[in-house]
Amino acid sequence: MSLLRFLGLGGSDEGASADAETETVRRIAGRLERLDPAKARFLAAFAYVLARVANADLEIDAEETREMEARVRELAHLSAEETALVVEIAKSQNRLLGGTENYVVTREFKSITSAEERLQLIACLFAVAAADGNVSSTESSEINAIADELGLSRPEVAAVRSRFRDKIGVLQGMPER
């Protein structure tokens, strides 16, 4: 039995949506008992993908954590304690299962969101990566991989990236056109 179902958020053992959920998303969403199950599932996947970018360089620093918390709190209107819990679980899950869960969770996020929500995620990913003042090439590559997994076009991603031009490591110090 999944943690989501144990907490009364998962529904029956049958059905495609329950099968499509990853254990990572269930674990995070399960801590959000007071939210609508669909909102909890969205938030769990969102937080995990934020952690994916923050951990791209194998280190999640305090600035990235604060930015993740701000983005999660803004989206879900959670208390500071709930926000911190969601972000910590997402970071922990990414550190433990990142290699095997990254694509699966991102694919799940794609299946439960609109194109607009996926672009909003990309903007949040750049904000998390830029939290320390520099979007490294590793973080930028990870964001590009996520965008591909989400089915976003290069021009869509470039439009979002342009808002963070002054933080893109390889572009810092180059004159603007």
In a domain, 142, yes or no: yes
The answer to whether position 176 is within a domain reads no
**Residue 177 placed within a domain:** no
Examine the pLDDT at 104 and tell me if it is beyond 80: yes
What pLDDT score does 163 carry? 93
Identity of residue 53? V
Is residue 7's pLDDT more than 80?
no
Q: Is the dihedral of CA 51, 52, 55, 57 positive or negative?
A: negative
Q: What is the b/e burial string over 116-151, where b = at least 16 CB atoms within 10 angstroms of the residue's CB?
A: eebbbbbebbbbbbbbbeebbeebbebbebbbebbe
For residue 169, the model assigns a pLDDT of 67
For 88-127, the DSSP string reads HHHHHHHHHHHHHHHHHHHHHHHHTS-HHHHHHHHHHHHH
| Number of domains composing the chain | 1
pLDDT band at 14 (very low <50, low <70, confident <90, very high): very low
Mean pLDDT of the chain: 83
Whole-angstrom distance, CA of residue 131 vs CA of residue 146: 18
* Residue 22 banded pLDDT, cuts 50, 70, 90: confident
Q: What is the mean pLDDT of residues 2-10?
A: 37
Which of 5-14, 72-81, 101-110, 145-154 comes out lowest in average pLDDT?
5-14
The torsion angles phi and psi of 151, rounded to 5 degrees, stand at 75, 25
Residue 143, domain extent: 3-171
The enclosing domain of 38 has a CATH number of 1.10.3680.10
SS3 state at 82: helix
- Which pLDDT band holds residue 8 (cuts at 50, 70, 90)? very low
pLDDT confidence bin for 47, thresholds 50/70/90: very high
Mean pLDDT is highest, among 10-19, 26-35, 156-165, for: 156-165
Amino acid at site 33: E
Contacts of 72-75 with C-beta under 8 Å, sequence gap 24+, read 72/43, 72/46, 72/47, 75/43, 75/46
For residue 21, name the pLDDT band (cuts at 50, 70, 90): low
Task: Considering only CA atoms, give the Rg of the chain.
Answer: 16
